[in-house]
Amino acid sequence: MTSIGLADAVRFQDLGLREEILKAVEEAGYREPTPIQARAVPEVLRGRDVVGIAQTGTGKTASFVLPILHLLAQGRSRARMPRALILSPTRELASQTAANFDAYGKYLRITKALLIGGVGMGEQERLLERGVDVLIATPGRLLDWFERGRVLLGGVEILVIDEADRMLDMGFLPDVERIVGLLIRRRQTLLFSATMPKEVRRLADTFLRDAAEIRVAPKVQKAELVEDVLVPTRGRDKRALLLRLLREQEVGCAMIFCNTKREVAALTRFLRDRGVDARDIHGDLDQSVRQATLDAFKKGEVRYLVATDVAARGLDIAELPVVINFDVPHNTDDYVHRIGRTGRAGRKGRAFTLVAPQDERLVQAIERLSGGRLPRLELEDPEEGRRAPSDAPDRNQQHAQAVEAPDGERASGTRRRSGRRAKTAASRSASAAPKAQPVVGLGDHVPRFLQIQVPVRAAAKSGAE
């Protein structure tokens, strides 16, 4: 299984970690290790190289952070010479990993620095200068600093290559290889990847020695706790359909994925023009803007985050109830990663994918991966594509929603389920409708769902960690 699952009968106390770490883990609220933690922590503590085949959402970050903290608790850092190096493909993942070190290392005196693009580096440079135990970096930025002589890599005893398949996707593998070539040979290397394309396998074979291979999710296996549904769209106006989906499925807060930066920007504009509380996050935005948006989303101050795959990779947002694929992703791995943003840490999630007739081939691949036909949620009637989008909301009020069961039956059970779900969604996110705001672009007609007031406190809970 891929969503967080607990390892049979293994307790954190059995893993051989120091008391200070166990205390911090307990305070984080974790009762038992996840399977990747139960299997990886002892291997890392033994000094072995590890290949961890695990997606985000499985607890893989703690599976290397916890034993590294333990190993580094002895010994001392030297100026500019970190003892552990964590390579992350994105700034967001790097920041989250840094936060993990802070959380689990709060009772230890472990120092760290973060080298990523887009944030003021003066403070990080001062930290490095003084000597840090852990350096967390994106590959390009690290090389940049190395070349300027600001960081020395000769003291790195433990190297982590995180999300290696994403490194590959983003064209970072040559940088990673260069960095590994700068390290001492007598080191411990941990490599994590959700999937194992041949280039990543080659990287592991070249740079790891006698590695323990721990696989907690077969390639492209879906998170079990996510209920995913396809939303067929025949008309051309996918955006109007999205508005309708947000309202009819009581989506109080969600991440909405598009395939391109351009679509992210256009869709965000469309939603905001209609008073929907959406913000965009993609690779071209300044780091401080991305971080501020993400923080606002986590706090529940923003209800819908519109994102590309790259920007969303590695974002850790607990309790995200819904993911929407505005565009069908081009491959099943991205599908799995996207829907894996919900249904995390033992909680149920929902994923909706808008599918147009031309997406048929991609839909087949997703259904093959899912082991059968996925339920369809019919929101659009055959005439819809021809109507002006601003007509839609009122008529939608009378339009009976029907969810087809996988075997093609109209399932009354499914309807009952959606009723129950409506309740949980309501308790999670307080209100069905996007926040009422001045509406631009709909003329005099303001759909009823945009007029519902949302209690601010309750709304703020949804989507927050």
Q: Does 4 engage in binding with ligand AMP (CB under 6 A)?
A: yes
Q: Does 332 engage in binding with ligand AMP (CB under 6 A)?
A: no
Query: Which of 250, 309 has the CB closer to ligand AMP?
Result: 309
Q: Distance between CA atoms of 158 and 136, rounded to whole angstroms?
A: 12
Beta carbons of 61 and 100 less than 8 angstroms apart: yes
Q: Does 99 engage in binding with ligand AMP (CB under 6 A)?
A: no
What single DSSP character describes residue 78? B
Q: Which of 5, 35, 52, 59 binds ligand AMP (CB under 6 A)?
A: 59
Q: Distance between CA atoms of 52 and 49, rounded to whole angstroms?
A: 10
Q: Distance between CA atoms of 233 and 211, rounded to whole angstroms?
A: 47
Q: Does 33 engage in binding with ligand AMP (CB under 6 A)?
A: yes
Burial of 108 (0-12, 13-18, 19+ CB in 10 A): middle
State which of positions 379-398 bind ligand AMP (CB under 6 A).
none
Q: Which of 21, 30, 35, 249 binds ligand AMP (CB under 6 A)?
A: 30
Q: Which of 43, 162, 250, 316 binds ligand AMP (CB under 6 A)?
A: 316
DSSP E strands, 366-455: 376-378, 402-404
Per-residue b/e over 410-442, b at no fewer than 16 CB within 10 Å?
ebeebeeebeebeeebeebbbbbbbbbeebeee
Q: Does 337 engage in binding with ligand AMP (CB under 6 A)?
A: no
Q: Distance between CA atoms of 19 and 249, rounded to whole angstroms?
A: 46
Look at residue 465 and give its three-state secondary structure: coil
- The residue range among 52-60, 151-159, 207-215, 454-462 that interacts with ligand AMP, by the rule CB under 6 A, is 52-60
Q: Does 345 engage in binding with ligand AMP (CB under 6 A)?
A: yes
Q: Which of 60, 282, 313, 350 binds ligand AMP (CB under 6 A)?
A: 60
Query: Which of 56, 342 has the CB closer to ligand AMP?
Result: 56
Q: Which of 2, 3, 58, 249 binds ligand AMP (CB under 6 A)?
A: 58
Q: Does 344 engage in binding with ligand AMP (CB under 6 A)?
A: yes
Q: Which of 57, 105, 349, 434 binds ligand AMP (CB under 6 A)?
A: 57
Q: Does 86 engage in binding with ligand AMP (CB under 6 A)?
A: no
Size of the site for ligand AMP (CB under 6 A): 16
Q: Distance between CA atoms of 184 and 115, rounded to whole angstroms?
A: 21
